[in-house]
Structure 1
């Protein structure tokens, strides 16, 4: 009996212990899961808030940068005495500029000694020495580019809120120091913005320099510590200088926060956003308190409590996903207008082309059609297809997705060769002036796309002059891009090709749209609006830039900057156009094409020309044909974009295991646009049978020459 009692007591004790231990263990587990989930949700909120703050700061500094450039252009070549004599007019223009930007307190122009020539605050400007200010001192010895200084207080007699400076150097024509152009930016502009978006409890935002100086923050502190040179945040940024997510304690208010930071791409500025860890823990405790209310009474309710917690977590994840989708929809919505314009322009132009093709095809079906008309309609279809291919190439150029064929060539020689064509396009009333240096200016780019870009700029200049004026083409070299101190890759600088006209110029309100596809100020039928888009896309994809300077009534200058190379890598290649068209004469070609219609077209056309064709639908079938029977074929002609193994992968396998030349073909492939053709010959779709036979004989001839050299 006593044994049974002891056993019963022991069992009860174990049950009591279990009734406590099991809920505690499950509660600890649920707490840990909830804590991790809350931390992840908080991190995602911080990252989204950081994206908003970073985009806002980037737009603000880009606007200020453009304003400084506008001021610089306004006084370019104007001596200090002339600026001082026209101070009232310049003051009015600076005041108008400063008043139009809520983030800007004032704009200043200083001479080489730190004296204010003109400002937007007062006329005339008081005679005060500003040479001790950091935004002035930094530019005296060298060109510091865009400089952003620490927060300052106004100097008497000026009053008002504190500010920080964004400045750039003024230079004379010989490059010597002429003074400083400066804009005073209001930190409270950023603080007000952060207050509007930081409504969650514990929210934090800051804008600071790379040395740790805080320019603006939310929440605002009356006696904030504005610099943190050796604190934990500086060490974290040193480990990951571009962006990161850290937990640190602020030296300004002693609050521990979870912070995300990100550096603005082109400016010495960091933007940070975060949440107080106490607020994150409060969220977690608020969640767990609900679990405690339903979990304490009995272990029987534990499963239900966990189920409710699971449903709550799923609900939180669903809400987070909805918020993310809403934010993505907002970002995409900002591009809808541009996409609508692009879609409408493409539809309009392609409908015109399809109308010509359809009408010509209908006329070709008419019985008893004379040979002369049949050839005319066939030529119309062929010409229209070529125009459609050109339109597609221009769209890919704007999107920076064209398949470039880079080669090293001398820009100066290319410009000289195109001078006659430009003169013909411009017409005899327009004077053509070229300035090409004697020394070679080599670039590594697609020569055909470069010629197209130059002609597009020349045609744009011609139309701007209405048939009369002077068109100047100048080739030169620069160390770096205007407004940038970073050299091009390889430290060779850039080749600058400028096309200047004496036309009507570009109004300021159109500057932001001149490179948009299908944007044109010409009459209907006078232009597609894709010429400058091709120039923009070609420059970006080639690692360069295109810049525009214009003044209404005095003309415009478009300058194309492309990275310069040494010229040692020039290769001697035989272009496809130099290979004559020829019949097949029994040449065996393995055609790999997943599109049945395109494959049948190529097969029938090549068979009629005397080629022996084997057509397969994918790369796996092609490898099966080659295995053990590779000697049957002279060339492999394969599409790039195919399901499963791509044409590039197939070409790599053939290069490793079979001694066969490969010709790739594609209308568009993002792999080709990013990495090139990997050393294989590339035929762009749409292609003609003449182009196809030429490239097949080209690679076949290289194979014969290669074997002869080996023997």
Structure 2
């Protein structure tokens, strides 16, 4: 007890440590997972924003491109002189074009020397040269398609907002350079759009030229006119990859994605400040802390109080234990006296019969009829004693379950009187069994338990008054049909338990076989009865079905596969069947109780078996390894010091010793928990007739086996 108390206090201390360590560990794991999740969500937001700004920029540039095409089309077949002659009309047309496009500040047509021929701003065009502007100089040497210029401020005498240019080369029919068509685009148009969609904290958008030069940007910052080397990371603009970079303009670290406009030498980018993403993550974790810290503190306080309370209870328990010892001793002795008195009474009655029969057998001049009667009395009394021990072991949950072939109808008739007593005198029990035996292969004890559970369930449904009908019949198939190859050849045996109780509502049909499900009040049922019936039916290859209507009772149908009766069960008195001679069969007997072992070997020797007796599994293995061909079968006890009989059988299987094994046991917790693993099991006490039949079932030996061998018995 003191050891258990120390262990429980130690466990509480470890729980206090765990109550701190575990939440911290879980918080760190959650923080790591949340960190990755937060950045993944931010990346998805950035990609969605990038798609929006890309679509917007593409539409703007396509619109400007159409405006340039329209301007170029207006002056395509006109010489410089013709353009100047029509300047006023062309000016009006260009003015209408630029006014229709809010992103366009103005449209210009220049001659080969860089002088404006016509524009949308003023009429007439100023007499000045623009040959030094990048949007003109870029087209002089050759055709480069659409050119996007740097961000510029208007040249005097012009004033207004900054712009960047989109221009094309003008050529004659023979390919000579004749000038430039140019549109001035407002960066503010893009920045206003970015401001509308970038309301989330830390948002970032930009329009950049292919060399990294920024044309428009949000948030606004001081801009550099010179290209920014490496401003666009290599490869990032041509893939879906996002990069973490520090802007050379405002020195802010951001998570940024790039995308190029098809057909134009510009990129759009979208991003978010890493500080904003980190703030989001910290906000998420702080919400966890708001609940986690108080909960952890409360848990530590509760465990501390529990530890102190436990220590106090142990002290009080030690004091009470001393005062209760005397009372417990008296109660224990009384209970032990009741138990041993009942068992001793039954066994003394059985031993009295055996003793009297043995004494009468010693009397001289007994007739053969009286001698056989006394022998039968001893045999029957031993069988009754064996049944009593089996019942005790089953009550203690120490009896190994073993399927057997039995007549189900006969079993129902045997249980009829007990069922009447169980359900009470106010319930009429009606049984119906067919004249033809109905054999099944199942655990008889489990079947009896299942039948009792169904009867108890019916009794409770009838409130102790009504009619309980138990009928045995045969059926060709289950209510739920199975495949033809899975159907037993003889069909099924059905046990119908019908009551006149309150019935079962339809909505409860799917739950009545669930473990611990019950509609009874607390203390009236555990909900395990019908669950046991369901499990028994499935394990036995059958099924349980129910038919019920509220107010008209219920009928439970238990289906079990029907089998052919075993040969030894066709005899009415199998316990008195004649033993089978050994015919020279060699048996290795392994029994740690030397008296039991000698009795078995001497009885087998009388029947013509060759026997070798060893008292432990280790010596048995040595005998088998040295000469496994000497033995036809191994007959071993289960409970032995060191290696058990079941372990001996498993070791023989591991060593590939192909010799049949028969186990014998009157009690074994190993068999109760694990079963016999497929080995033949003979229960103690056994008769020599049972032993000889089991041995011949394992190793059939013809009675005319030649040459005959004189019976012998060796003890090792």
TM-score (norm 1): 0.40
TM-score (norm 2): 0.40
